[in-house]
Amino acid sequence: MTQKRYVTTPIYYVNDKPHVGHAYTSVAADVLARWWRLQGHEVFFLTGTDEHGQKVEKAARDAGMEPQAFTDQVSQHFRDLTATLGLSNDDFIRTTEARHKAACSALWEELARRAEIYLGHDEGWYAVRDEAFYGPDELTERDGVKYAPSGAPVEWVREPSYFFRLSKWLPELLRRFDLPEGHAERIDVQPEARRNEVRAFVQQGLKDFADRPEKLDLSISRTSFTWGVKVPGDPAHVMYVWLDALTNYITAAGYPDANAERWKFWPASAHFVGKDIVRFHTIYWPAFLMAAGISPAKRVFAHGWWTIEGQKMSKSLGNAIDPVALVADYGLDPLRYFLLREVPFGADGDFSRKALANRLNGELADALGNLANRTLSLIQRNCEGKLPAPAAAIGDDVALLDALAAMPGLVGKHVEDQAFHLALEEVFRVVRAANGYITAQAPWALKKTDVTRMEAVLRHLHSVLRGAATALQPFMPGTMAALLDQLAVPEDSRDLAALATPLPTGTALPPPSPLFRKIEIEAA
């Protein structure tokens, strides 16, 4: 049954150029969006840029530019990256857009109307880099400077501030974290370890501040700078950048217009985020929404962090990798494949050029590319380039075709769980089996001894390639489109449902050409 599905990436700060970490979240969300479309669902996929706050204001100043001109420029890098990465996003949101400021104001007014906001004053240790406050016990000191656990320097700030009654919503959050799978009100924090972490964090807060819960309320406005969305009715304040940023997810769905065409997509099916911003998405965001009478997103999936050749990615090391350069060096689809195959989504991983080259050479070029090339060349040469007739499965055919039939369901289950590496493994299990099969059946030798059997074997192999190419489209859209072209699968027959309908016997296949270019490991 067709469903409405909505997936988001974080909106990226425009204080710096995109790197491979940003590409990772975006590609993963793209794969999920494409998989859903392949299943026939109605999908909305959102990405964009986070452009307000002190950190961006400072980056603009450092660049000697006005914040608006600066954010226009850097945001464009992220917009260009969506094309470079082949993303199928349906919208690209910028928090400096009028529609977004209107949504933020509407959400604020709704919270104020419901008495979820009050005026007070705020003081504490603030890290501009993280746009977050930290408790004194979380800090470390070096050379007279205090640092947050993230490594960001903190400074003492004191200013009037509006507060959000976060404390009131924490017990409700805990209830929702623990609702059973499938429950309409469940907030599904994944992976499990992250859910436990967030739950423990909330429980600890409730325990520590049992006698003064207002300490758990959240400061949601600032007066010390101006680059932000003005608080309705009190323009000396700008909204806390995370309240502003998180609201993007409903802005793009049409909030506050309940009749907006896209409002049908809310609540979002999944927010994809890095593990660094889990608390914002699993505590603040659902609390804001519940307080405004809006359902929170159904799932938040936190993926791990990439190190680069064994080292933490950092500005000072200058080792951030530009995804545009990677695409130029290895091709887009090998990069997309590598990012999702190398590391379980949710775990940390290391990005190395050698590992990428190994996956490209061994799995894409040798296993999949060769299978396609051998099969399609034989059909060209031995069958006059015409697709042989379907044949009943006998002997070794049975296991191969059974595995093929089961594969899309298994892939789908893993994709729904965001176990992308396992989804890919399911496809490659069948590809490897087919490579064993072609060697064992030796259809090239059958040409002289048993043409009927040769044709049956080649038809079965064509089916395997069609199944693999169909299921791999979300991961490697460009290359799999080329493979489906070579397999002569019409463009309107490339979704999962179409696999049930065999191509007509005698369909003319174009001459094959290589799908993947191998990389010298030394040069990698």
Q: Which residues bind ligand ME8 (CB under 6 A)?
A: 10-13, 21-22, 24-25, 50, 245-246, 248, 273-274, 276-277, 305-306, 313
> Looking at beta carbons only, is 124 or 304 nearer to ligand ME8?
304
DSSP 2: -
Angle, CA 489 vertex, CA 439 and CA 396 arms, to 5°: 25
Separation of alpha carbons 53 and 71, rounded Å: 11
CB nearer ligand ME8, residue 11 or residue 216? 11
Nearer to ligand ME8, 201 or 305 (CB): 305
User: Minimum CB separation from ligand ME8 for residue 428, in Å?
Assistant: 24
42 and 3 Cβ atoms separated by less than 8 Å: yes
Q: Which C-beta is closer to ligand ME8: that of 57 or that of 426? A: 57
Kindly state the smallest distance separating residue 445's Cβ from ligand ME8, in Å: 49
Instruction: Name 272's bridge partners.
Output: 301
Minimum Å gap between C-beta 302 and ligand ME8 is 8
Residues 6 or more apart whose Cβ sits within 8 Å of residue 381: none
- In single-letter form, the type of residue at position 401 comes to L
Minimum CB separation from ligand ME8 for residue 150, in Å? Answer: 11
Provide the minimum distance between the beta carbon of 246 and ligand ME8 in the complex, in angstroms, as a whole number: 5
Q: Which is closer to ligand ME8, CB of 276 or CB of 309? A: 276
Phi, psi of 95 (to 5 degrees): -75, -10
User: 233: which residues sit within 8 A by CB, 6+ positions away?
Assistant: none
Nearer to ligand ME8, 81 or 446 (CB): 81
User: 319 vs 493, which CB is nearer to ligand ME8?
Assistant: 319
Q: How far is the CB of 29 from ligand ME8 (least distance, A)?
A: 10
**Residue closer to ligand ME8, measured from CB, 277 or 332:** 277
Looking from the CA of 340 toward its CB, the CA atoms found within 13 Å total: 28
Backbone angles phi, psi at 160, to 5 degrees: -65, 150
Q: Identify which of residues 6 and 12 has a Cβ nearer to ligand ME8 in the complex.
A: 12
283, containing H or E segment: none
CB of 281 to ligand ME8, least distance (A): 7
Q: Least distance in Å: CB of 348 to ligand ME8?
A: 8
Residue 10 near residue 25 (C-beta atoms within 8 A): yes
**Residue 241 Cβ, how far from ligand ME8 at the closest point, in Å?**
8
What SS3 class is residue 12?
strand
Instruction: Calculate ∠ Cα 21-26-31, nearest 5°.
Output: 130
Lookup: tokens for 509: 């296949």
In three-state secondary structure terms, 236 is strand
- From 403, 379, 323, select the one nearest 509 (Cα to Cα): 379
Burial (CB count <10 Å: 0-12, 13-18, 19+), residue 158: exposed
Work out the number of other CB atoms within 10 angstroms of the CB of residue 76: 13
Q: What is the dihedral of CA 430, 433, 434, 435, to 10 degrees?
A: 130
The closest residue (CB) to ligand ME8 is: 21
